[in-house]
Structure 1
Amino acid sequence: MSKILKVKNVNDYSSYLGCPGPHPWVCVIDYAEVSPIRHSLNNYSVYGLFLRDDANVELDYGCGRYDYHKGTLLCVAPGQVGGKEDNGERVEITGWALLFHPDLLHGFSLEKHIKDYSFFDYRVNEALHMTAEEHDILVSLMRQMREELGKKPDELQNAILVGYIELALNFCQRFYNRQFITRKIKNSDILVRFDQLLHSYFEDKLQLRLGLPTVQYCADKLCMSSNYFGDVIKKTTGDTASNHIRRFVVRFAKNGLAAGETVSQVAERLGFEYSQHFSRMFKKQEGVTPSEYCQRLRS
């Protein structure tokens, strides 16, 4: 049976490392100061940003096993499990960790829009690989937060800490956007595989059993988290993955209509339970109904 450290509060993790902090909802850890440490497989009820500078540290996350590389940032959210099970070994690691509890965000705008930072749901193999400049920016913010945590608490401290956290998250979003651009060739390959997957889906007639392909289905088949997959497609095409699927389905539908199939036959072949659902999607994409499209073909 796996030994899992339940990180219900930020100090559950920092105490495990031997460095409990003064604040109940925020902690900043410099791993160089607490190493060597024991591994831990963690069940998080808090948010965490883990910046690791040591190369080739093996890590479990969910059902996968991956290697960290120097300058890697991993973000976790409540409800996720990650780390490596304690086997008694002590390891020297370098880097930083920022953990903060959702309760810290109550009353601040970040509480409402933290869900917009989709990288919290990326998998470890979709982690952020930072440049030296990006790395230094985040480390500087970590140091400033730790300095603030060392001051006597007052009525503005939480607002200042939340401000630092939001700034760090915005920098992370900027860095991810840069990573999507610098990996554009790889992202184009993902788009090709996405289209091949959609072709195979309909060729194998999976739509008759499973309905239309979903973003989650495609992401799973391409071994990506749905958030990362959706972000890659948006950055590569300028449109959402779900719209890409709908456009693909409409292209398929047009081929059938042009070949003489009725609207009902096309809808059934594409896996729609009701032809009006197909007609609604077609009109939303094309601006005309399937029947009007057929009339244009004949005119």
Structure 2
Amino acid sequence: MKEIFINTVQDFNDYQGMETLHPLVSVVHVENTEHIKECVMHYGLYAIYLKENKGCKLSYGRTPYDFDEMTVTSFAPGQVVNVEPNPDVPFAKFTALVFHPDLLNRTALGRQISRYEFFGYSSTEALHLSAQEVEVFRGVLTMIEQELHRAIDKHTRELIVSNIELLLNYCLRFYDRQFITREEINHSVVKKFIELLDDYISTKALRDGLPTVAYFADKCCLSNGYFGNLVRVETGRTAKDIISDHLLAHAKQLLNDETLTVTMISNRLGFEYPQHFVRFFKSHTGKTPSAYRNALI
């Protein structure tokens, strides 16, 4: 299988057969006439693709969906992506924005880039755009592209970075909309999460340790970031907070059983050390487990 390393904007433009207008950022429009070939892409920069082929076969977890809307996928430096040909869509047609991390040096966007968690989503968690959203997306890309065709001056970098930030903020809005419009699917994911969580605490914590967000994201066939954001939008709380709530509820229930010591309860819930359990319990209730138990008597 061919491996392709995209460490610079020049690498990307050379691979796509495009001219480089700026060493740190590029907008390209691609409509291939050759069949898509299987390969592995190694990214050393940020890339956002607006995939323009229609009728693409995508999946949400293990559930397949057919979308006529265009889709957006995002990749960050350090990510490795497997590209496999789709028999139904053999030719690639897309618009892409790529930018090197150096473009963001000493900028507000560079300091806040971690808030755009969709760079960590998997390709099956792509953003599906409505016709109006595609218009907005393309409009911002056009502003970046227009700036790239101007002579580089002292304003170029600031204007390009501010427009990239605008595009990323629109993506955040569109993803939030997608979570809301998939309410029924999201509800089933949260329901599965809660069921798995209670089962884990009851049957697995003693052996495997404290439950983690990553464990449940994997069980729901979602990336950590997408799973966390889905739970937050659906419930108004973070997945980590929900795990803490259920650990606390199980702890209170176990403290009703006077045959169990605090150490035994700590072990059963998956805490590595009893003092960690005591600290956790007190931070949430204001009382130590022993004081809480005594108050029950």
Is TM > 0.5 for Structure 1 vs Structure 2?
Answer: yes
2:230 to 229, 232, 236: 232
Give RMSD over aligned pairs: 2.4
Percent identity between matched residues is 39
Distance 1:218 1:94 in 2: 35
- Taking structure 1 as reference, are residues 108 and 37 closer, same or farther at Cα in structure 2, changes over 3 Å only? farther
Residue 259 of structure 1 is matched in structure 2 by 257
* Corresponding letter in the other structure for 1:171: Y
State the Cα distance separating 1:91 from its structure 2 match: 4.9
- Taking structure 1 as reference, are residues 85 and 184 closer, same or farther at Cα in structure 2, changes over 3 Å only? closer
Q: Give the 5 Å matches for 1:54-65.
A: 54-57=53-56
Q: Give the 5 Å matches for 1:1-299.
A: 2-32=1-31, 35-37=32-34, 39=36, 41-57=40-56, 70-82=69-81, 84=83, 91-204=90-203, 206-260=204-258, 261-298=260-297
Distance 2:289 2:280 in 1: 10
SS in 2 for 1:50: strand
State the Cα distance separating 1:67 from its structure 2 match: 8.1
User: What residue ranges of structure 1 are gaps of 5+ in the alignment?
Assistant: 60-64
- Taking structure 1 as reference, are residues 253 and 19 closer, same or farther at Cα in structure 2, changes over 3 Å only? same
Deviations 1:145-171 (A, max 9, x none): 111111111111011110110000000
SS in 1 for 2:266: helix
Deviations 1:253-274 (A, max 9, x none): 1111113233222112212232
Deviations 1:239-259 (A, max 9, x none): 211111111111111111113
- Taking structure 1 as reference, are residues 175 and 48 closer, same or farther at Cα in structure 2, changes over 3 Å only? same
SS in 1 for 2:272: coil
8 Å contact kept, 2:193–2:216:
yes
State the Cα distance separating 1:83 from its structure 2 match: 5.1
8 Å contact kept, 1:5–1:43:
yes
SS in 1 for 2:22: coil
State the Cα distance separating 1:81 from its structure 2 match: 1.9
TM-score normalised by L of structure 2: 0.89
* Corresponding letter in the other structure for 2:223: S
- Taking structure 1 as reference, are residues 30 and 83 closer, same or farther at Cα in structure 2, changes over 3 Å only? farther
- Taking structure 1 as reference, are residues 43 and 56 closer, same or farther at Cα in structure 2, changes over 3 Å only? farther
8 Å contact kept, 1:51–1:71:
yes
Distance 1:224 1:213 in 2: 16
- Taking structure 1 as reference, are residues 83 and 50 closer, same or farther at Cα in structure 2, changes over 3 Å only? farther
SS in 2 for 1:4: strand
User: What residue ranges of structure 2 are gaps of 5+ in the alignment?
Assistant: 59-63
Distance 1:272 1:58 in 2: 43
State the Cα distance separating 1:200 from its structure 2 match: 2.4
Distance 2:246 2:146 in 1: 53
State the Cα distance separating 1:12 from its structure 2 match: 1.2
State the Cα distance separating 1:193 from its structure 2 match: 0.6
SS in 2 for 1:185: helix
Residue 61 of structure 2 is matched in structure 1 by none
State the Cα distance separating 1:173 from its structure 2 match: 0.4
